[in-house]
Amino acid sequence: MSEMKRRAFARRLARDELIAAPGVFDGISARIADGMGFEALYMTGYGVVASHLGLPDAGIATYTDMVGRVERIARLAATPLIADGDTGYGGLLNVQHTVRGYERAGAVAIQLEDQEFPKKCGHMLGRRVVPVEEMVAKIRVACDAREDADFKIIARTDARTTLGLDEALRRGEAYARAGADILFIESPESVAEMEAIGRAFDVPLVANMVEGGRTPLISADELQRVGYRLAIFPALGFLAAGAAMHTAYTALRARGSSAGMDVALYPFQDFSRLMGFDAVTEFDDKYKEKK
């Protein structure tokens, strides 16, 4: 199944059409997004750390924390899963272990970034990057570590925010030469910068569309026009879920009961069906004791 998903994603990526990938971060978000016809899902590190640990995405989660989430989401979803691998969780040997682990867990691609440890969310200030040679070595290790050539290596640079766009473009060129399949120039701050990124490379590019982040939110047509092949929306799901839960819990706190509450809710029976309770019922019917 994983091999089929990787082949399907590789074929889709080769087409000159934008892929929009929603961020997923737990079993509920994965099940909902998986049933909506998306061509890829993006396992967001920010969202996974927040939902799993209730902590900031600041280098706190370990490889073990993350690879377990990759496996769980990849098993739940038939849609190809792109997974955030942070900095590879250590040195070159750790990168090898991480790439192999994410591939075995069922991801179709791993994203690796050039931040210093401890890393930060890509739309926060104060990020620092490792020397370009160190990241080039990580990419080479990552490419050699994969068993399936269709397992894609996404190389992300966070250089733009502190070192400027020219340095970010220079790093992107070095990472592409090292073998990265997809480039991720994080946090351009204008459409003009996004256009410059699109002109600079002929490999697939990632646009990180973070609502409230540092990069302008532009339409799918505009993203494709300026040269992006993959647009990820890592925060949309958990920001929407957070807003909905805050509204519901506020109403409950004020009223003391959900009776008569004017809050949009997912129908309970539909949610139970989404979680797979129909299969439980079928199992019970098949194996229940005959009387």
285 within a domain of the structure (yes/no): no
What integer pLDDT is reported at residue 79 of this predicted model?
A: 98
27 within a domain of the structure (yes/no): yes
**Higher-confidence position of 287 and 290:** 287
172 within a domain of the structure (yes/no): yes
Query: Residue 64's domain spans which residues?
Result: 2-241
- With 60 as the cut, is the pLDDT of residue 30 above it? yes
182 within a domain of the structure (yes/no): yes
Q: What is the CATH number of the domain that holds 165?
A: 3.20.20.60
What integer pLDDT is reported at residue 60 of this predicted model?
A: 87
The DSSP result for the chain, as a single string, is -HHHHHHHHHHHHHSSS-EEEEEE-SHHHHHHHHTTT-S-EEE-HHHHHHHHHSS-SSS-S-HHHHHHHHHHHHHH-SS-EEEE-TT-SSSHHHHHHHHHHHHHHT-SEEEEE-BPSSP--TTSS---B--HHHHHHHHHHHHHH-S-TTSEEEEEE-HHHHH-HHHHHHHHHHHHHTT-SEEEE----SHHHHHHHHHH-SS-BEEE--TTSSSPP--HHHHHHHT-SEEEETTHHHHHHHHHHHHHHHHHHHHSS-TT-------HHHHHHHTTHHHHHHHHHHHSPP-
Number of domains in the chain: 1
283 within a domain of the structure (yes/no): no
Instruction: Please provide the average confidence, as pLDDT, over all residues in the chain.
Output: 94
The confidence band for 207, taking pLDDT boundaries of 50, 70 and 90, is: very high
What integer pLDDT is reported at residue 14 of this predicted model?
A: 95
271 within a domain of the structure (yes/no): no
Average pLDDT over residues 93-106: 98
What integer pLDDT is reported at residue 236 of this predicted model?
A: 98
44 within a domain of the structure (yes/no): yes
267 within a domain of the structure (yes/no): no
